């Protein structure tokens, strides 16, 4: 069942799951996650950086319940669909 949840409530709920340090809402801080290295860009309400599989599940569950799209970019993939490594 989808419930219309306002933006601030959704952000607060995600913050409760992962903590303030792992929830990015500032446009400048979100930019590396919303723009591909070679091509592609998009907008995001927030960038959530969960630390556990349970946190991933809880955040995605919140998105579904709020009727929002959640994009999970695991495995070190960026917006452009290419794998990258942090050395």
Predicted confidence at residue 1, as pLDDT, reads 45
pLDDT score of 24 more than 60 = yes
Residue 42 to residues 4, 20, 25, 74, Cα–Cα distance (Å)? 23, 23, 14, 17
- Supply the range of the domain harboring residue 25: 1-87
The per-residue pLDDT for range 25-68, each reduced to its tens digit, is: 999 998 888 876 666 777 888 999 998 989 989 998 998 898 88
pLDDT score of 2 more than 80 = no
Number of domains in the chain: 1
Span between the terminal Cα atoms of the chain, in Å: 42
CATH number, domain with residue 38: 3.30.43.10
């Amino acid at each position: 069942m989808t419930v219309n949840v306002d933006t601030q409530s959704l952000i607060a709920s995600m913050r409760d799951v992962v903590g303030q340090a792992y929830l990015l809402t500032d446009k400048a801080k979100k930019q590396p996650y919303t723009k591909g290295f070679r091509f592609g860009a998009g907008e995001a309400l927030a960038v959530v950086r969960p630390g556990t599989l349970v946190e991933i599940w809880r955040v995605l569950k919140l998105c579904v319940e709020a009727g929002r799209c959640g994009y999970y970019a695991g495995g070190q993939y960026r917006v452009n669909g290419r794998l990258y490594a942090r050395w």
